[in-house]
Each structure stands twice: as C-alpha cells, then as structure tokens.
Chain A
C-alpha cells in the first residue's frame, strides 16, 4: 500500500519544471500524477512515476535532487460523503493529512494522501472498507 513519491525541490524560475519532465520523458519514465506546491522563491514538485528508483536515478544524473516520500493512494467513489468518510477515518486514527492531490483513474477518482503516520492509517482505512491501490497498480496506470 506504500507508494514511493518523488519530491523534487525546484527554484521558481523559467524552464525548471520542463527540465525535470524532459529528463523523465527521455528515459521513458511515465508521470502517473503530480502536484506542485509553490512559494515565491521555490516550489516542491511531487510526482508518482512508473519507476521511482529509475526516476530518482536519472534525475540525479541530471543534477536534480529528488527524495522519496511514502504516500498512499486511496480510492474515492464518485459519490457525496465518500471523501468525508475517508478523512474521518484518518482523523480517528490520530493522524494528520499533510497534503493530498488527485490521481485520475477513469470514472472514479482517487487521491494521493500524505499523512503523518502512514501505517496505522492504512490499517484503519482497510478496516473501514476503503479501497487503496497497491504501489504496483499505481505505477502501472497509463493511458
């Protein structure tokens, strides 16, 4: 259930994001989904790729530092109250959501979630009947 996300620190300047995507494309590493958090001076690019180890390696070779962060991919059926239910489970497990962003998986959506204590949250979600993707499933999402 643990998914390896790549976090890349990038300065807020022209063309920098392009350089990152360029390196990944050249080495045939697919970006499954991403989110970009930004401040006035720098941004943090969070990406789920088809092959995290390879992704990190090729970025490093290109002089771009990337760190692994463990996240989970939670399915959210396209119905009212579903997200609220998931958030409640996380909250009841005593964990805090650091950030979340969408993972597009067709008619239903999923969210990539970074929580403070990953393992207890995974257990709690499982118990409450919430479906999560495995790392392999996520890495293989492709058009």
Chain B
C-alpha cells in the first residue's frame, strides 16, 4: 500500500519541477518575512530572483543549530505568532532549547508524512497503534500520534515508561503496531518474554526511530517478536519524525522530496559530493510555513541514491547513518552534547571540568556514566561529603541533559587532559 501514490511515485522530472516551483516560492517568502535570512542573502549579494529552480539551491546559505539558538525562541518564524498552532522544543547545548513552530498546514503536512511512513509499514485503519514515544515538547509522541490518526488507526497514546502497563494494554487492546525507540522495543521484547506474553499479543509491526540502530538489532527484534520492524527518520528542526522512512525492502529511508530537499555535502569543504558518497546530510524545507529552513546541516553522515526502489517509490533514499560530523550523542532517544555536561559541571563549582562520558547499552537500554575527577576542591575526608557531592552532580546533570546519568568519582588528574582534542566520550554501544 502506498499512502500518496501521485507524490511518492513521481518521476525524477516531475519531482524536480515541483521542487523548483516550491523552492522559488519559498525563497521569496522567506526573504520578505525572515530578517535573519534576508540579511544573510544581502551579505552574499543574493536576491530572491537569483533562485530560478532547484539547481540553484546550492547558492543558498547554510543554516545550523546555532542559528536556531541565536534566534531563540521565535526569531526564525516566517509567519505571525497568531498563525502558529504548536511549538516543540529540544534541549540545546547551553541550556537554551531549540524551538520549532508549526502552522495548521504544517501540522497537516506532518501528519501526511507520518501517514506515508506508517502506510509503508503496513499500518491502516484496522490497526491499533500504541505510541510509546514521549509526549510533550519532544516531537516523537505527538508527531507519530497525528500520523496514526490520519491513517485512521485506533491510537493508544501511552507515552514512555511504565512497561508493565504498556504490556497489559498491548495484550488487552490487541495492539498491532507500536511506535517507539528501537532500544525501548528491545527492552520491551525482553519484558514480554519474561512475562510469557509473546504468544498472547497481536503485534505485527513496529515503527522505530529517534535513535540509530543496526540491521542486526532489527533482525533480532523481528525474530523474537515475530513482527516486521521499520525505520522512521526525522529531526525537529525540519519536521520531527516523518522526514523519511523505510519500506518492506529495507533499501534505505525514502525522503519526502516534495517537502524536503536533501543534499549531501563534505562537512569540511561544504561542497556537494557525488551521488552515493558519504557526507553530511543537509535539508531545505520547501513547504514549511512557520519555520522554513535553507540547507539545514543535520550533522548526520549518510549517502543518497536516486534509483527507484522495488516498492515502486521513486524518491531519494538515504543509506544507513554512519555517525555524526559533530560530537552529539543520542542516548535513549535524547540528544546529548558533551559540552552540556561541561557547562553543568562548571556551573556547579567545586568540580573540575574534567569529565569523561561512558555510553553503553546494558540489557538493551542505553546507559550514561559520567566520570568526574574528585579534585582538591573536594572535601574527600568524609564519605558523606563525597556522596552529597555525587548526588548534587547527578541532579544537576539530570536537569541539564534530560536523562539520568550515573556519576562516578575518579581520582584527581586521572582523566586525560585536553591536548588539542580531548577525549570526552567513550561509546561502547555496538551500533554500526
């Protein structure tokens, strides 16, 4: 089943014609409504008229997460605030969130994109979809929710946590599809096995995203639960989940090019790379009303192919992600920058900003250990004092990062000192 065959199966020519028309329109609108981009274009000597079609996209300036933060909260919005019907936000590196907004039409477009992904995953009006992504400022929960409603499925908005309840309702309601992070699905798989419930549930598919996973993990989940698992990709700056998704052939993530134009660039030279070459993924939104972005640098490393998929869809496909061009970590679906840890520790005082993040996956759940040096500022004569300090650091980090971390005190001057690029992260998860 294809949700929107007219769009999803367009020929390359049709796609480019549509993209050209939409890009020209969007550049005009942005130039006149967003001061940030107008100034940037003026500095570059670029006028809206210089963008005649999709081939001119490389003339446009790049946008980074910093640009969003610098214009916090609503500085990049291209519509009056009265047009905004929803905002979401993700945590930023310095405590300031990255805020994204949506008009009513943006929400409709978002539901359309998620509906396409769900349909690719075989979800239809007869399905019962359990949404186990977090609801709230995070785009995962509500994004998947609206898409599932759009396909006409029965939606069960469970959000995250309370695995026991998740299992009970999954069994009692006869849930057929679950939307959650891959690591949570692995965790749930074990819980279902322990409870002897695998044969009692009616689950047939899972739509997983918000963190990287491997084919090995997918196969493992599919084998143990007897389901098919699909990948959904997105980022809040561009939309949220639903920018791309994979089909039953698992040939890569189909990007909805009628709304988002992907490019792959060399993160050092910022020049586009040849088709099939790995580089940094960049997106230009061409239909977003509230927050249109030119060439947003995702920092995700991947490659693109444009050949037709056996499923019949024609849009560009992204290969498996190969990591990031910055130091962002995705832990339990949450974006974590090592610099956030540093900022939190500095703010706390009494601790050296010498730290090491050790990320691992234990029992299929991501764990984060933060090693901190107990330096001379510590009163390390008393265990009680040290324990208080550990608790204080744990609380501060949880507030700053949005996830719990295990804080481990280590001897002073044992963590590597910064010599050029300090090693701040050890990631023991086997993902790629």
The answer to whether B380 and A11 have CB atoms under 8 Å apart is no
| Complex CA–CA separation, A9 to B374 (angstroms) | 8
B412 beta carbon closer than 8 Å to chain A: yes
Q: B376 near A46 (CB under 8 angstroms)?
A: no
Determine if A11 and B410 form an interchain contact, defined as CB atoms under 8 angstroms apart: yes
- CB-defined contacts of A64 to chain B, threshold 8 Å: 411
Give how many A residues have a beta carbon under 8 Å from the other chain's beta carbons. 19
- How far does the Cβ of A118 sit from chain B's closest Cβ, in whole Å? 13
- Assess the A9–B411 pair: CB atoms within 8 A: yes
Q: How far is the CA of A63 from the CA of B410 in the complex (A)?
A: 13
Q: Given A42, A65, A67, which contacts B386 in the complex, CB threshold below 8 Å? A: A42
Per-residue CB proximity of A27-71 to B under 8 Å, as 1/0? 000000000010101101010000000000000000111010100
B410 contacts which chain A residues (CB < 8 A)? 11, 42
**Chain B nearest CB: distance from A37 CB in Å?**
5
| Contacting residues of chain B (170-200) with chain A, CB-CB under 8 angstroms | none
Whether a CB of chain B sits under 8 angstroms from the CB of A7 is yes
Please name the residue on chain B nearest to A71 by beta carbon: B381
| A23 at interface by CB-CB < 8 Å | no
A1 to chain B, nearest CB (A): 18
B382 within 8 A of A: yes
Q: Would you list which residues of chain B between 408 and 426 have a CB under 8 Å from chain A? A: 408-414
Residues of chain B within 8 A (CB-CB) of A135 are none
What's the dominant secondary structure at chain B's contact region? loop
Check B383–A37 contact: CB distance below 8 A. Answer: yes
A98 to B379, CA, bound (A): 13
Per the bound structure, the CA–CA distance linking A67 and B409 in Å amounts to: 16
A39 to B387, CA, bound (A): 10
B375 at the interface (CB under 8 A from A): yes
**What's the Cα separation between A37 and B375 when bound, in Å?**
18
Given known A-B contacts A9-B374, A9-B378, A41-B408, A65 and B413 have beta carbons under 8 A apart: yes
- For residue A100, give the distance in angstroms from its CB to the closest CB of chain B: 13
- Any chain B CB within 8 A of the CB of A10? yes
Q: B34-77 vs A: 1/0 string, CB under 8 Å?
A: 00000000000000000000000000000000000000000000
Distance, CA A117 to CA B412, complexed state (A)? 28
- CB nearest to A39 among chain B residues: B383
Among candidates B381, B408, B414, residue contacting A67 with C-beta atoms closer than 8 Å: B381
Contact residue among A39, A42, A63, A65 (Cβ-Cβ distance under 8 Å from B376): A65
Give bound CA distance, A117 to B410, whole Å: 29
Are B413 and A44 in contact (CB-based, < 8 A)?
no
A-B contact pairs, 10 of them (CB 8 A): A7-B381, A9-B386, A9-B412, A11-B410, A41-B408, A42-B410, A65-B380, A65-B413, A67-B376, A67-B381
